[in-house]
Chain A
Amino acid sequence: MQKLIRWWKRDYYAGALMIVLGLITAHEGSTYPIGTLNQMGPGYFPIALGVLLIFLGGLIAATATAGADSEEAALPHAEWRGWICILGGPALFILLGRTTGMLPATFACVFVAALGDRETTLKGALILASSVTVFGVILFHYLLKLPMPVLTWNGL
């Protein structure tokens, strides 16, 4: 089931997000020397862009009711399993890559990511992870000489 949200409401959030990002940028920018238009300091450009983004965010929210965007917005059904696995795989890659090396990191990354699909079986994920690991280690370690040990132990 897909839940529909009214697109004009979505544009309020979109505008608000831009305003927040603009505020952060402008605020950060104001902590650096601003300078003058003649001699622009490092803060000048961030502030200008931040203010511009706030303005655009306001416009996005303000024009929301008037049909600026003709696309229908369908809020997808929350896909927690998929999302967690897609983010979890690379997260494990970072963790294991730092502590144990390329081989376990690659295997864990592909294995966990593959489990995100509802149709994938445990066996299928194992086979996929093993083959990508073999291929990846040969390609990146032996052929491309990426400076990342295959197996190591650096402690946590």
Chain B
Amino acid sequence: MIETALTDLWYGFSVALEPHNLMWVFLGVLVGNMVGVLPGLGPVATISILLPLTFGMKPVAAILMLAGIYYGSQYGGAICSILLNLPCHPPHAVTCLDGYPMTKQGRGGVALSVTVIGSFIGASFGITEMIFLAPALVSIAMKFGPSEVCSLMLLGLLAGSTLARGSPLKGVAMTVLGLIIGIVGADIETGTPRLTFGILELYDGVEIVALALGVFGIAEFMKSINQNVKFDTKYANIKLRDMWPTRTDIKQSFFPWIRGTMIGSLCALIPGTGPTIASFVSYATEKKISRTPERFGHGAIEGVACPEASTHSSVQGDFIPTMSLGIPGDTVMALLLGALMIQGIVPGPQLISQHPDIFWGLIASFWIGNIMLVVLNVPMIGLWVKLLAVPYKYLYPSALFFVCIGVYGANNDMFQVALTLIIGVFGYILLLLGFHPAPILLGFVLGPRFEENFRRAMLISRGDIWVFVDIKNHPISTVFVGLSAFLIILQIVLWLRRAKWGIRVPQVSATPSEAEG
């Protein structure tokens, strides 16, 4: 098993090291790192903007670059949290708690280097996990019939919407809304136009970039405009020589790195719990097992090392269900899956055998990309720090242009740009009403495949809905449905407890004001 994995990995490196692909990986991590540093522009918006540009590229290069943006932005996001105390990238919100106090003590450089080393350890483990686990998952998933695929998707959708941020009920509603938006267009089997309201341009459905940029671009800009987040760059003057950690720093960070990596890789395996939850859990764990928990919040190096390692191992592990089962765990994964589908590649367990260049090339590119990121972040830290000072008032108008031209470029169709605007206004209303719109994209991407498989399962079982919980003939499907039921019951129990006792689940809060105190 190890031997075949190494052979495949070797092949992957030969793909990823092709000069052409190497260039795209570099471009991806560079852009990712940049938007990670820039407060106010996230990886989701960036990937959606650049998605149309990849239509003309080879699938391998496209996916390598888009993935690079995602993990590259994680490195940049940490800089933003540690030096500016801005939790603008959710997975790095907890890093503010101890990272910023360290910066104020003049140890910001050390915090950054601990982050970079921890990130690399975490990412390496996450990649290794993917090398061995993904093929194993595939060998199980190859036996899946339509009913298993359906119940697995159900589980993925439920987990993605209930375990994410905000109210679980609203999360599920957003998923259903995403499924409904996914229906728009001609029906696959009969060709009947559905939910098009007579608009001819909607027959081909809603473009994934129009949806993503409406919700995560336009709506976010409408939310952030003139909010005047003032931040202080006076501590952010970090140079390379400030970054050398002492022997004590390394000793103090070593076990937090390992623990963070483990927590992150576990979180990656549970659908719906991505890097954000991993980082919160690992911060709480580290604080709990520490002999001096009172140091946390005042610049404890463990409070930076552990969550950062866990974020990165979870980010890499996130790719496992996406690439091996075709079930995305979060918004970014849904977008990447959308990118694959646009390239005409059917996601699912057959991906590894049908497109080994994509799968193994991607894994190899993770390592290459992470090494590039370490190189980019250590000697060039001064440059990134300068980027922090780019004000939002220059950022969003330029981003709006990229949104317009990106959506237009997807299909050379101005109608989709108008649709993006409408979705943006609607998305802003959803934000105001307390919805976290991330699951919309999950539902949108999985929707058509879910319906197709559901119809097929019903056809095979002659309309017997109980086929999904037929423990004798479909044990795997039954387990998935059981887990889904468990998730729902869990939420109801939690809700009843809250309603009865009036207590709220304690959360690690990381807003700048509270982190100050």
Contacts and interface: CB of A to CB of B under 8 A. Distances in A.
B398 A79 contact: no
B491 to A, nearest CB: 10
B195 A28 contact: yes
Contacts of B400: 86, 89-90, 109-110, 113
Given A14-B433, A117-B392, A46 B401 contact: no
B203 interface: no
B194 A86 contact: no
A150 interface: no
B495 A63 contact: yes
A28 B195 CA distance: 6
B226 A114 contact: no
B143 interface: no
Contacts of B172: 56
A67 B502 contact: yes
B177 A79 contact: no
Nearest to B400: A113
A114 B401 contact: no
B226 A46 contact: no
A117 B226 contact: yes
A76 B192 CA distance: 42
Contacts of A60: 167, 169-170, 173
A93 B401 contact: yes
Nearest to A87: B421
A42 B221 contact: no
A132 B455 CA distance: 48
- The secondary-structure label for the interface of chain A is helix
Nearest to A14: B433
B180 A147 contact: no
B397 A21 contact: no
A97 B413 CA distance: 11
Contact of A11 (B176, B187, B392, B434): B434
A96 B505 CA distance: 51
A38 to B, nearest CB: 3
A118 B391 CA distance: 13
Contacts of A10: 432-434
Contacts of A124: 393
Nearest to B435: A14
Contacts of A14: 170, 433-435
Interface string A28-48: 110011001111111101100
B435 A33 contact: no
Nearest to B195: A28
> Which 10 pairs show the lowest CB-CB distances between chains A and B?
A38-B463, A82-B225, A37-B463, A113-B397, A42-B187, A117-B393, A114-B397, A14-B433, A42-B192, A69-B167
Given A93-B417, A117-B225, A128-B398, 4 more contacts: A71-B434, A102-B405, A106-B401, A109-B400
Interface of A: 7, 10-11, 13-14, 17-18, 21, 25, 28-29, 32-33, 36-43, 45-46, 49-50, 52-53, 56-57, 59-60, 63, 66-71, 73, 75-76, 79, 81-83, 85-87, 89-91, 93-94, 97-98, 102, 105-106, 109-111, 113-114, 116-120, 124-125, 128-129, 132, 136, 140, 144, 146-148
